[in-house]
Structure 1
Amino acid sequence: MAKVTSDQLGTEPIGQLLVKQAVPASIGILVMSLNILVDSIFVGNWIGSIAIAAINVVLPISFFIGALGMAIGIGGSSIISRALGAENKPKALQTFGNQITLTLLVTISMVILGLTFVDDLIPAFGGKGAIFDPAKIYYIIVVCGVPFLALCMMGNTVIRAEGKPKFAMIAMIIPSVGNLFMDYLFIYVFDWGMAGAAWATTIGYVLCFAYVLYFFLSKHSELKVTWPHFRLKADILKEIGSLGFVTLARQAVVSIIYLLLNNILFDLGGEAMVAVYAIIGRMLMFALFPVFGVTQGFLPIAGYNYGAHKYERVRESINTAIKYAALLATLVFIGLMVFPAEIASLFLSNKSDMSDFELATNAFVLEHTPSAMRWVFAATPIIALQLIGAAYFQAVGKAVPALLLTLTRQGFFFIPLILILPHFMGELGVWISFPIADVLATVVTGYYLRREVKSTLIA
């Protein structure tokens, strides 16, 4: 992959530049998503389907703490991209230093709170019945490693803001490969069960942090911070917070959705129904990796050119990103519609010594997952517009519309739908809430993006 420096973000052809940015981001997300997917397959086959449900309970809690780092990273990276575009390197350095300090302070505080209230958090997120004990084992170990995850997420966005997507890709690949190797060693060889799965994940976070630290200490990074840069500045914190709050709010809503869905589905079908959603949740993380990769590649291009007042290039980057992402989303959609049963079966154990409870759970999951998956991904071809549209406002530093459009799908539409429809339609009401929310959010985002382009992005 050809090297991209920050000034090239404002000069190279948009299509070529987007490929250079999006392909490494997509590969990184693919490997990270494959890690989550294969990790779940290993856990399902070597521990059991209840173990998948246990991880599904813990993920929104640990990911929310980790997402604090991503929020700080994306908020600060928007500032850094625009500062580099405007040739204001001192502001970029001060912003990066503040990101590091803020990430450490916030995530360590959250970990302390998370461990203090562990027995309350796990049941609240659906860790009930047979799910509670394995979820608690996994949670305690993984949460201790989440500050490393937060620093990785923060650092990764800054690496992309510098125009170094290849290094960002490697940072995502290292923990994924490490985690899968540790999964095999700790779960299959050492037979550590849920504790093995948790230690594999945590060691993956540490490996990622080590690589990110290497990047910023090496000659590859343009951002060489010194001690004064770590001193928190109110104006920079305010800007990081206003932009990063978009990402944090999105992850907070995701965590709320996990809480609601795990509890709603547990009431509808017990542990087995939670396991169905756990498999679909993994596919939501994995299947859309190319679309998320295009979105990540789009962010620094739009931010840099907006900061450099090259509005024609911003418009072109929006159109090109939507076209690429829509094509990839359609290909994903076709695959999921054709092979849902085969996908579901990958997560289920076929061991000969399973208990009657495990056999019944597996049969239920295999029966219910294919139709649920088809409903959940029914509107996939149109989501590119919603994702790129919301990302544009975040990239150019417009925090309020970015926040509102980011929350449109999951907060304003999806949560009310899953609170209402299951009362009338049962399980089906849960699954059809996904495509309805996708369509409504895409219509709203398309309207505001079109208005923004016509009123603001005038060359």
Structure 2
Amino acid sequence: MAKVSADQLGSEPIGKLLVKQAVPASIGILVMSLNVLVDSIFVGNWIGSIAIAAINVVLPVSFFIGALGMAIGIGGSSIISRALGASNKEKALKTFGNQITLTLLITISMVIMGLYFVDSLIPAFGGKGAIFEPAKIYYVIVLYGVPLLALCMMGNTVIRAEGKPKFAMIAMIIPSVGNLLMDYIFIFVLDWGMHGAAWATTIGYFLCFAYVAYFFLSQNSELKLNGSHFGLDRPILREIGSLGFVTLSRQAVVSIIYLLMNNILFGLGGEAMVAVYAIIGRMLMFALFPVFGVTQGFLPIAGYNYGAQKYDRVKKTIYTAIKYASILATVVFVGLMIFPAEIAGLFLSNRPDLSEMELATNAFVLEHTPNAMRWVFAATPIIALQLIGAAYFQAIGKAVPALLLTLLRQGFFFIPLILVLPGFLGELGVWISFPIADILATIVTGLYLRKEVRSTLDRA
């Protein structure tokens, strides 16, 4: 694999560079999303639809702790990209060392708290009734591996900030393939049930960590640390925190949404309705992988060129990223509108030994999921502008607008909508909250981004 220099972020043609950055990111996200998707299909077919609902209850807790690593990674990687663009390698090294120390301190503390409050957290996130016991089994085992996940997510963003997207892609592929292989062995062959699903996920985290550690210890990385780089530096921590808080806030809002959605839907239709949302949640992770890939590819290019004061390249990066992501989002939209019933059917078992409860749950899920999916993804073609617009401010180190725009869709619009509309429209009120929030957030982000480009980049 050819080595890529960070300097190329400031010299290659934008279109070619964005493809070079976005394609590996998209492939990595695709494989990770496929992992979650196929993992859910395996669990649904080999364990049952209640097991899918149980995993959906656990995800916001484990993902939030893992997202601490991503927040530290993205916050620090913005500093690293700009530092490399400004030829300040020592600051890049000190930032990376602080990222590692901070990730370990915070995530291990969170895991201890998560295990201590296990019996109250699971019901709070919708793990009630028949969902509680399988959710607890999955939660406890997976939580042990979450610090490794956090280190992987942090390290992956740093690899991309160095201008080495192919290595970042491999780091995302390895745990996904490992998890699916372990799923087959532990669930299908050994019949370990939820224990097998949980251990497969945790082993996937370990494999990812092993590869990321190999990358930074080998000659592939330009960031070679020594002991002095791990000592916490207050100014760097403040900058990591202010920028990483954007990502952390977004994931915190996602966790709150899972909590609200699981409880609201449980009240509307019990465990089966939670299973409907679990399937849609998997598709939200999977279907938009190319848009998220373009967004991930956009970040280091925009950050590097902003740090190098190449503002024309920054503008071109914004417009090119929005164009590419919008085209891909439209393709995704068409597929989801045509095949929602077929997608829902993939997650449901047709084994002859299903109980009456499982058969009733499957029938409910198959009836309700297609219409819900169409509503949830109704505004997909326009969301690229909102995602790229929010990512731009994070890439250039403007934490406050990045935070506000990142929280716009899910925090400021979606949460109030799902608290109000279901009271008037029932189940439909839940699902139409998605496109309404998407449209409102995209309008606001577009106006704000246009103002920023005119006042900052056009006048530079």
Q: TM-score scaled to structure 2, two decimals?
A: 0.99
- Please name the residue that 1:70 is paired with: 70
> 4+ residue stretches of structure 1 with deviation over 3 A?
none
Contact 2:48–2:358 under 8 Å retained in 1 = yes
Q: Distance in 2 between matches of 1:379 and 1:410?
A: 14
Aligned equivalent of 1:437: 437
Deviation string 1:28-74 (CA, Å, 9 cap, x unpaired) is 00000000000000000000000000000000000000000000000
Mapped to 2, the partners of 1:2 and 1:378 lie a distance apart of 41
Letter of the 1:359 partner, please give it: L
Matched position secondary structure for 1:456: helix
**1:80-229 map, 5 Å:** 80-229=80-229
Is 2:39–2:180's contact at 8 Å kept on the other side of the alignment? yes
Gaps of 5+ in 2: none
Give distance in 1, aligned partners of 2:225 and 2:424. 57
Does structure 2 conserve the Cα–Cα contact (< 8 Å) formed by 1:56 and 1:278? yes
Matches within 5 A, 1:190-269: 190-269=190-269
Q: Secondary structure at the match of 2:4?
A: coil
CA distance in structure 1 between the aligned counterparts of 2:2 and 2:67, rounded to whole angstroms: 30
Matched, 1:365 2:342: no
Whole-angstrom CA distance in 2 between matches of 1:271 and 1:440: 31
Q: What SS does structure 2 have at the residue aligned with 1:222?
A: coil
Quote the Cα distance in structure 2 between the aligned partners of 1:369 and 1:2: 45
**Superposition deviation, residue 3 in structure 1:** 4.4
**Letter matched to residue 241 of structure 2:** G
Gaps of 5+ in 1: none
User: Secondary structure of the residue that 1:4 maps to in structure 2?
Assistant: coil
Contact 1:257 1:415 in 2 (8 A): yes
CA distance in 2, matches of 1:12, 1:286: 30
Q: Which whole-Å CA distance do the structure 2 matches of 1:11 and 1:353 have between them?
A: 61
Q: Which residue of 2 aligns with 1:411?
A: 411
1:280 aligns with 2:307: no
C-alpha distance in 2 between matches for 1:285 and 1:158: 22
- In the TM superposition, what is the alpha-carbon distance from 1:4 to its structure 2 partner? 2.8
Instruction: Identify the residue that residue 457 of structure 1 maps to in structure 2.
Output: 457
Q: Give deviations 1:139-189, integer Å, cap 9, x for gaps.
A: 000001000000000000000000000000000000000000000000000
Task: Give the corresponding residue for 2:342.
Answer: 342
In structure 2, the CA distance between the partners of 1:39 and 1:259, relative to structure 1 (3 Å rule), is same
Deviation at 1:420, TM superposition (A): 0.1
Residue deviations 1:398-439, cap 9 Å, x none? 000000000000000000000000000000000000000000
Matches within 5 A, 1:23-102: 23-102=23-102
How far residue 280 of structure 1 moved from its aligned partner, in angstroms, is 0.0
Residue matched to 2:446: 446
Q: Is the 8 A contact 2:3 2:220 kept in 1?
A: no
The CA distance in 2 between the partners of 1:3 and 1:449, in whole Å, is: 34
Counterpart-to-counterpart distance in 2, 1:3 and 1:107: 32
Is 1:32–1:172's contact at 8 Å kept on the other side of the alignment?
Answer: yes
Quote how far apart the aligned CAs of 1:204 are: 0.1
| 1:9–1:163 CA contact under 8 A, matched in 2 | yes
Q: Residues 3-37 of structure 1, C-alpha deviation per residue, up to 9 Å, x if partnerless? A: 43100000000000000000000000000000000
Q: Is the 1:78–1:300 contact (alpha carbons within 8 Å) kept by the matching residues of 2?
A: yes
Q: How far apart are the structure 2 equivalents of 1:203 and 1:138?
A: 13
> Partners of 1:156 and 1:150 in 2: how far apart?
10
Identity of aligned residues (%): 85
Query: Alpha-carbon deviations, 1:302-345, whole Å to 9, x = none?
Result: 00000000000000000000000000000000000000000000
Cα distance in 1 between the residues matched to 2:279 and 2:3: 37
2:227 and 2:94 mapped to 1: Cα distance?
10
Match of 1:321 in 2: 321
C-alpha contact 2:38 2:180 (8 A) present in aligned 1: yes
Give the TM-score of the pair, scaled to structure 1. 1.00
Maintained 8 Å contact 2:175/2:208: yes
Retained in 2: the 8 A contact 1:2–1:20? no
